[in-house]
Amino acid sequence: MKNGVKMLDIAQKLGVSVVTVSNALAGREGVSDQMRRKICETADEMGYKPSNTRGMKKMMMPRSGKSVGILTSERFVGPRGTFYWELTAGISNRLSKLNIFTVYECVSAENEDMGTLPNMLIDHKVDAIIVIGQVHRNYIEMLSNIKLPLLFVDFYDSRFDIDSVNSDSYNGAYLLTDYLIRMGHRDIGFFGTLNATSSINDRFLGYMKCLIENGIEYRSDWTIGDREENGTLLTDPVFPDDMPTAFVCNCDENAALVIMALRSKGVRVPEDISVVGYDNYITMGIGIPAVTTVAVDLAKMAEVSVDIMLKKLADPSYTAGRRVISGKLIIKDSVMNVNGGGRDAR
């Protein structure tokens, strides 16, 4: 909300769920008259102002089967064909084949920051929620109070006991770093903003573990942020004067960005600096070497996500915990063997 007061604040003050606040303010059933008056009075006292009136009427969607909502933060929504679009499509297609309808919604930065319920929940359009890609902790707290099956995909938060499906970021980054070391590199940097997502943190920890096990000193000036505070990717990264011989990048998209930024400074990849990525998803542009990476098994992630959701829809008490999907090292053309074996020697 523009004045900073959100439904989560009202819920916390009164010790009720966000859904109860939403139902009371929208005039829906399921809230006692006494609680409704109390919530409305508290909202007025706190200066709560709704940003729209979508939730003032109950909009039920006719359907024969169940429906699952898919939420993604707008900072992860890019051109069609990106990693998250592919993952979303994979999950949606599998659910559709099972006669389960999907509703997609992009969470705006303002709504995520303010803890505003997605319209699919306000309008009671879905029976369960899948969140693909990291959302802020305050938004996770709000979602955790929703009495619907909930699943996180490609992220997790250890403070909340919410089922999740993730690629094995920790081991994947370890494999990439170990490959660089086997190719003779000992000055290795990391490209990614720590604490931006659980995946980036896990990849950084895998990178660190490999450095430690090989007796290589970690240099903080070689860990370079890849995004703005609002989560959008940087287009002009700032490199240190004293450069490493290789970078582990938290994803292929950032690896391509790093390569182009280095080329603009006259630095060749892999001849001068080697670069590895993660995902094995995007195709590099003309003149950019194919990036050595870890392939994420998107099909398996979609399969496991749908399997868990089916069990949760059948039995809301079902829990799957944190499921981790292994990846595979894919050797391409972006690493120089400084032992003398040339580019990406097998």
**What dihedral angle (degrees, nearest 10) is formed by the CA atoms of 174, 179, 183, 186?**
-10
Cβ–Cβ < 8 Å for 234, 227: yes
pLDDT at 139 over 80: yes
Question: In this predicted model, what pLDDT tens digit does every residue of 156-179 receive, in sequence order?
Answer: 999 999 999 999 999 999 999 999
The pLDDT, as a whole number, for residue 61 is 35
Do 1-58 and 169-295+329-343 come out as alike in CATH topology?
A: no
Q: Average pLDDT of 191-208?
A: 96
The pLDDT, as a whole number, for residue 19 is 76
Residues 6+ apart with CB under 8 A from 41: none
The pLDDT, as a whole number, for residue 75 is 83
The pLDDT, as a whole number, for residue 286 is 62
Per-residue tokens: 71: 């939420």
Question: In this predicted model, what pLDDT tens digit does every residue of 211-247 receive, in sequence order?
Answer: 999 999 999 999 999 887 766 777 788 999 999 999 9
Beta strands 342-343; 336-337: pairing state: antiparallel
Round to whole Å and give the CA distance between 279 and 329: 10
Question: In this predicted model, what pLDDT tens digit does every residue of 89-131 receive, in sequence order?
Answer: 999 999 998 989 999 999 998 999 988 999 999 989 999 999 9
Cβ–Cβ < 8 Å for 19, 146: yes
pLDDT at 11 over 70: yes
pLDDT at 342 over 80: no
The pLDDT, as a whole number, for residue 71 is 96
Per-residue tokens: 190: 């990391």
Structural domain spans, the chain: 1-58, 169-295+329-343
Of residues 87 and 25, more confidently modeled: 87
Of residues 74 and 51, more confidently modeled: 74
Q: Which CATH number among 2.60.40.420, 3.40.50.920, 3.40.50.300, 3.40.50.2300 corresponds to the domain 169-295+329-343? A: 3.40.50.2300
Question: In this predicted model, what pLDDT tens digit does every residue of 55-85 receive, in sequence order?
Answer: 433 333 333 378 999 999 988 876 544 788 8
Task: Provide the β-strand partners of residue 275.
Answer: 247
Q: Which CATH superfamily is domain 1-58 in?
A: lambda repressor-like DNA-binding domains (1.10.260.40)
